[in-house]
Chains A and B, each alone.
Chain A
Amino acid sequence: MTAAAVPPSIERAHAVMRRGRAISALALLGIAGVYVMALGYTPIEAHQGLAQKIFYVHVPAAWCALLAFSLVGIVSVLYLWLQDPRLDRFAASSAEVGLAFASVMLTTGPIWAKPIWGTWWTWDARLTLTLFLFFLFVGYLALRSAVHDRHERARFSAVVGIMGMLLVPFVHLSVYLFRTLHPQPIVLKPSAPSLPWEMLRTLLVSTLMFTLLYVGLVTLRYGIGLAADAKEDHDAA
């Protein structure tokens, strides 16, 4: 088993956590700014009204959840190949943060769907995929909390991460096939094919801030994992 370059140290963990806290705080302030920007400085969509503005939170959260999930999958493959504990630590962090973003998607999605489509839930591609990501994250984290040996936990998590990544295309296919047979009456298109510049600008800024928050939270969570591993090594010595 190849070891990591340097054994985990408490000092490095604290440095990582500090950096994570700073980046996250900055990103949260940025998102607060996005709220102001979306509510005060972005035009109201004519057909959907104010509710369309949920889009500026829902879509970036979706992007981050998907990013988090994809990274867990890719890193899981790398872990089984390279056995580097840093990869496992990153995967655990990305999964937890991904769960937070998936929760945002699952709550803002129905809140947006109700005024726009008239129904809280619909088995459309994005909501269905979100639900699956949510359950896959939950299962991944549940497994991790149930396995106490670090190496076994890393191996098992990697297996679930890989299989989860492979499941996504099948969910997509099933939804697609289902929808072509049962087309949903679309009352209003949730996002116009070409977005006016003021709306696109807000969306891009929001996506940037959300991605920054992802980076900050994963860094912070990584530091926490690093500290836990360092403590465990220290206690064992």
Chain B
Amino acid sequence: MREAIRLALVVAGKDVRAELRSKTALLSATVFGALVLVIFNFARDPTALSSTDLAPSALWVTFAFAAMIAMNRAFAVEREHGALDGLLLAPVPRGALFAGKMLANLAFVAVVEAVALPLFVLFFNLDLSRALGGIVGTAILATIGFVAVGTVFGAMAVRTRFAELLLPVLLLPFMVPPLVGAVQVTSRLLADRPLSEMLGWLRILAAYDVVFVTVAALVFSSVVDE
């Protein structure tokens, strides 16, 4: 078990170091995220749609698309360097391999979200003093779910020619339940609603994570092995 954890961290570390060297995924995702926020904010009519109504959706759409870009690029970088084949030849248990890949993707997406959130506060002029902890917690909960699915689909898409197009087509339906839940919880957090109003959505988010992380880990070997 400890060996598996160590291997997972090694795998994750490899990916993270590779990305830090090339910086392509993080950079493109971050720039993209900032642009989307600007457009959302710039394009709305402030008298018709208040920022607190628009903000949760804008934030999560930004997170979703930027995360997708980050995951796509991460796999592409790995394919360019042929890193995956080397890993597969080594006797790394597939569960550890999946965990490593997922951790690396989580790290990338976390960076993108961490950059987008302050921009979000800036552009939408929000007061996060009470809601910050809740928003961060919700972000973790929702992100884990769609990154798990994205890790599996990314591993598949990277073997095809139109990977950048295929990953969104496959992944977007799977991002909807976590996104809907996250938007619902975030909007209630910003409106300072009681926890009882968010519990249903939080339970859906948690259940989604449990189901899809488990299944993703189980099917990952079917994707990477012959």
Q: Are B222 and A155 in contact (CB under 8 A)?
A: yes
Q: Are A142 and B170 in contact (CB under 8 A)?
A: yes
- The interface residues of chain B lying within 8 Å CB-to-CB of A224 are none
Q: Is B131 an interface residue (CB 8 A)?
A: no
Q: Is B181 an interface residue (CB 8 A)?
A: yes
Given A163-B174, A170-B177, A173-B204, A146 and B223 touching (CB < 8 A)? no
Interface flags, B144-168, vs A, CB<8A=1, else 0? 0000010011001101111000100
- The interface residues of chain B lying within 8 Å CB-to-CB of A158 are 222
Q: Are A136 and B173 in contact (CB under 8 A)?
A: yes
A80 to B218, CA, bound (A): 11
Q: Is A132 an interface residue (CB 8 A)?
A: yes
What residue in chain A is nearest B200 (Cβ atoms)? A177
- The interface residues of chain A lying within 8 Å CB-to-CB of B43 are none
Q: Is B84 an interface residue (CB 8 A)?
A: no
User: A136 → chain B, closest Cβ, in Å?
Assistant: 6
What residue in chain A is nearest B148 (Cβ atoms)? A163
Q: Are A177 and B177 in contact (CB under 8 A)?
A: no
Given A146-B162, A147-B160, A159-B152, A139 and B169 touching (CB < 8 A)? yes
User: B194 → chain A, closest Cβ, in Å?
Assistant: 14
- The interface residues of chain A lying within 8 Å CB-to-CB of B184 are 178
A139 to B174, CA, bound (A): 11
- The interface residues of chain B lying within 8 Å CB-to-CB of A160 are 153, 156, 170
- The interface residues of chain B lying within 8 Å CB-to-CB of A173 are 177, 204
Q: Which residues 126-178 in A have Cβ within 8 Å of B in the complex? A: 132, 135-136, 138-139, 142-143, 146-147, 151-152, 155-156, 158-160, 162-164, 166-167, 170-171, 173-174, 177-178
Chain B residues proximal to chain A, CB less than 8 Å: 149, 152-153, 156-157, 159-162, 166, 169-170, 172-174, 176-177, 180-181, 184, 200-201, 204, 207-208, 211-212, 215-216, 219, 222-223, 226
Chain A residues proximal to chain B, CB less than 8 Å: 80, 132, 135-136, 138-139, 142-143, 146-147, 151-152, 155-156, 158-160, 162-164, 166-167, 170-171, 173-174, 177-178
